[in-house]
Amino acid sequence: MSVLTSEWLKIRSIRSTSLIIGLSLSAVLLGFGLAVMAAGMYDSAPVDRRPSARISDLEEVVVIVPQLCMGILGTLAMTSEYVTGLIRTSLTIVPRRWPLLGAKAAVVVAAALVIGPTVVFGTYFLSRWVLGDRFSGAYTVAFLDRLPVLATVSLTVPVFALLGLGLGALLRSTPAAISITVGLVYVIPIIIGNIPEPWSERLGSLMIAALPRQITGDGNANSVYGSLLPPVAAAAVLVAYAALPLLVAAWLLRRRDV
């Protein structure tokens, strides 16, 4: 408990935290802007072409921003201590070591559990308000029918926070941990989209962004991602992204010299 309050103070007392949180929340504005643009394009299109107009679910597009930001927040929570050397003091005063990592995990997850739903649901409601029944009523689906996907997409944000923290603790390097996090979001899906089937679909089903719609059973039509996993397996993979690096890091933290 005492280590938890310490970590809460640590994360609140540096400037980069408010910067990262501000950037995360700006994703709502990005979603709003995209919705306004889409509405404008729809309205200026010839009436006979409007029925074929399609739009992505904007909240699933902009969630990439809080995902990466919270990943970075998680990474920095650990690597900033290695960069400054503060980690020696931190581990001297908490000799069991794992409570330090546990407290950092709790703090970044708490932040991400607020930020994720705020961005996803905020973007959803703003887009629904801006777009109305345009795009063949893409945003007129009943809220309760969309709720499972919105909730699961929101949960990917704390997963990224833990993934970032785990990688940071494991690699003890800010650039290395952030590169891998960004690679998982941008680079690897592009590579997977370009490899031959059936591997493209198989690996595409394992990507983080592919998991929410497999968990809810909606499937990933019209994307580079596959839909081969049953809901329980997809949920297990999502949990593994968060837990595996962190568990390995906790194990190593106890064993490595500092």
Partner 1 sequence: MVRRARGPPSRILYGVIELQHLTKRYGGTLAVDDLSFKVEPGHVTGFLGPNGAGKSTTMRLILGLDAPTSGRALVNGRAYTSLRRPMREVGALLDASAVHGGRSAYNHLLSLALTNDIGAARVAEVLAQVGLAGVARKRVGGFSLGMKQRLGIASALLGDPGVLMFDEPVNGLDPDGVRWIRDLMRSLAAEGRTVLLSSHLMSEMALTAERILIVGRGRLIAEATVAELTSRYPSLEDAYMALTAGSVQYGAAR
State the minimum distance, in angstroms, from the CB of residue 198 to partner 1.
46
Smaller CB distance to partner 1: residue 51 or 95? 95
- Give residues with Cβ within 8 angstroms of 221, minimum separation 6: 227
- In DSSP notation, 135-193 reads HHHTT-S-HHHHHHHHHHHHHHHHHHHHHHHHHHHHH--HHHHHHHHHIIIIIHHHHHH
State the minimum distance, in angstroms, from the CB of residue 234 to partner 1.
38
Smaller CB distance to partner 1: residue 5 or 140? 5
State the minimum distance, in angstroms, from the CB of residue 76 to partner 1.
10
Burial 71-95 (b: 16+ CB within 10 A, else e): bbbbbbbbbbbbeeeebeebeeebe
State the minimum distance, in angstroms, from the CB of residue 67 to partner 1.
24
Smaller CB distance to partner 1: residue 75 or 156? 75
Inter-residue contact 189 to 207 (CB < 8 Å) = yes
Q: Under the rule (CB under 8 A), what is the footprint of partner 1?
A: 2-3, 5-7, 9-10, 13-16, 80-81, 84-86, 88-96, 255, 257-258
Smaller CB distance to partner 1: residue 84 or 140? 84
Inter-residue contact 227 to 210 (CB < 8 Å) = yes
Phi-psi domain of 14 (left: phi exceeds 0; alpha: psi -120 through 50; beta: other): beta
Smaller CB distance to partner 1: residue 8 or 125? 8
State the minimum distance, in angstroms, from the CB of residue 159 to partner 1.
26
